[in-house]
Every structure is written in C-alpha cells, then in structure tokens.
Amino acid sequence: MKNENATTKTREATKDAAIRVFGTVMESLPGNLFQVKLEENDHKVVAYLAGKLMQHKIWVLPGDQVTLELSPYDLTRGRIIWRNPGA
C-alpha cells in the first residue's frame, strides 16, 4: 500500500513540475508546430498543440497570445495548452 501512494505522489509531482509561461506565436511551422516568443525573457521555443486544442479544432495563428507548458528538462520545447481570449 505504501508503494502505491509513493508512486502516485511522484507522478503528481512530475506532472505539476511543468513551467507555465505566456507567449506570442511568431510563426506556424510544418507538422502542427509553432515558434513562440516568450513574454518573460524574449526566448523563442518550438511548441505543439495540446490534444484538447486539436480535439476541439481551436485555431492558433501567428500573433495569438498563448499559454505554454515547458518541461524543466528541455526549455526549448513546449506545449500550447491555452489560446488566450481577446488577443
């Protein structure tokens, strides 16, 4: 029983370890990828759309404000999890 709880907590901790940042889509790349410029430090990352955005056919175009999740292991790649309204 203790091992299951420890494993569950470890999975939750790694899932919550994603870094959320805001950015602007600069360019649409082939293969459903986007080049996004981060607002905090003006770095550029390559990002892909999260499954829910593709499932609900949310269009992301250059110039859109988006919310990204970055992995703490590779800060040059990310996942677009939200297209900010009113942008």
The answer to whether position 57 is within a domain reads yes
The answer to whether position 3 is within a domain reads no
CATH of the domain at 59: 2.40.50.140
Q: Enumerate the β-bridge partners of residue 21.
A: 68
- Cβ pair 78, 69 in contact under 8 A: yes
The answer to whether position 56 is within a domain reads yes
Cα–Cα dist 31/26, whole Å = 16
The answer to whether position 1 is within a domain reads no
**Which structural domain, as residue segments, surrounds residue 72?**
18-83
Number of domains in the chain: 1
- pLDDT tens-digit profile of 43-82? 999 999 998 988 999 899 999 999 999 989 999 999 999 9
- pLDDT tens-digit profile of 9-40? 555 556 567 899 999 999 999 989 999 999 98
The answer to whether position 42 is within a domain reads yes
The answer to whether position 48 is within a domain reads yes
Say what the pTM is: 0.77
